[in-house]
Each structure stands twice: as structure tokens, then as C-alpha cells.
Structure 1
Amino acid sequence: MNKEWTLGICSMLVSMFVIWLTLQLPAGDHVLNSSRSFPLLLGVLLMIVSATQLVKAGRLRTAVVTPAYRNGNIRRGVFYVLWTGIYLFAGIPFIGFILVTILYLFVGITFYKEVRWYKVLPVSIGTILLFYFVFTRLMFIQLP
């Protein structure tokens, strides 16, 4: 069994456990504003990602496992830890959730070169607007 199958199976088991535990919580008045809403959403999303991982594992012909402890990867990991720490402990309390999250995503996406340079700002702003809408308007949860 390769790492793709192991990751898919383990995350699927965790997602099923999260969903089972979530269903043990008391139901609220509104389906999107109860103690079940957010954990159930996370459990279902994890299950979808796990299923995708298992499909990917089924399509692979050979297992390719290479250790990736090069300087570039270590630098990327250190940047992630430091940038996330600054975001959580300095950015949110002093600047505010929405503005600092847009900045966090913009710098992170630019640093990791996830999308082309002209898509970074729309992706950052669009992500925050989507999360803001889902949390505040659908789930009635106020963001910090």
C-alpha cells in the first residue's frame, strides 16, 4: 500500500469519526446555526477530499515516494509557520480579520506561486468574501 492509499483511508476514517461525533451534538433551531453546523461541514468536506484522494490513488500506476528535505522546502515551511504566526497573533488582533486575511492570502499565494500574478488579488478577495458571506449570512456566526 502506498502513501496515497494510506492518506486517503486514514483521512476517510477521521472524517467518518468527526461526522459521527457531530451527529451526537444537540440539534439547533436552524440547520445552519446550530452546534452541529460547522463541525458537520468540516467532516463532509474532509470526506469529499478523502474520496478524491482515494480516486487519485486508484489511478496511480506506481508509488513514487521521494523525500523532499531540500533547502527550498525547508524555507517554504519556515515561511509558512512564521507568516501564520504573525497573521494569528499580530494581524487579527491589531488590523482586523478581513483586511489581514486578504493580506495573508495575497502574500502566501504570491510566495508559493500558486496562481499567476494577475489572479492573486481576485482569489484573495473572492475567498474572503465567500467565507464572510457563508459565516455571517448563512451560519449567523460573527467573524473576529
Structure 2
Amino acid sequence: MQTNNGESFEEYCERGIKEGWLEFAVRKTKKSLSHPWSSTCLAMKKFNRHVQSAKYRGHESLLSSTCYLYLMYDAGITPDDIGTDIGKYQLGRFGDSGCYNMLNCRFITKLENLKERKTTEYAKSPKTVETRLKMSEAAKKRWAANKQ
């Protein structure tokens, strides 16, 4: 995992503004001051995608845009490091359970996230070992048939 090289969170945000992946929103009302970042910058596009994806999968995200940025800062990553490719980072929940909040999630690599997800899915799975073995054998037969 990368480090934040000793820079403060404020310096991290300033660097994001300079590098173009973070920008302040232009607000016209006091009501919107709780969301200081522009929704069109790359960092907030990633945040909005996270919120939509979590909702689609039936999980609640209690993170604000600034909390999301802080988790990025804590992991030492930028929005370019976030994604679904191997080696990219994803927001993972501890134990792959509960809602997304500051105490229950962190950025981890996709491989780490998949490993954690598999561990918890199998722990919760109602399938018996026998059923899993049958499924595995069926998948091997399909793979062998497709290979020919």
C-alpha cells in the first residue's frame, strides 16, 4: 500500500486540486455548504459511483464525500488508483459486513477484497460441502467441454 508521505489531509486535498482530480464546488446557497466538492471532478465521480453501487447491492453508505476523501488519503491513493482492475483499490468493509462508515471500511486492493468476500460468503453459505463439490465438478466438466 502506498503512503501519504507525511502530508496532511489539507495538503493532500490541495495536491488533488493542483493535479485536477479534486475541485471545490461553486455553491449559491448555504444549504449546500455541507458538500464542498464539485460532483464533476474525478474524486467525486468515484464517490458517487461507490454510493450508487452500494445501494444497488443492498448496502448502506454513511460516508460523506469528505470522509471518502479521507479514506483515500489514509490509504495513500488517488482516484486513478481506484477501480475494478487487478492492482486497483476498492472500498472494503471489515468482515465484508455492515454498512460503509468511517469505522467499518478502508481501501484495499481488489484481490484482498475478493479474498475477504469469498471467506465471508462461504462462512454464510447454506450450501454443504457435498453440494460445493458437486458444483465444482460440474464447473470442471463445463470448462473441459468448452476447451475442446
TM-score (normalised: structure 1): 0.23
Larger radius of gyration: 2
| Larger helix proportion of the pair | 1
| Larger strand proportion of the pair | 2
Instruction: Report which structure shows greater RCO (CA 8 Å, sep ≥6).
Output: 1
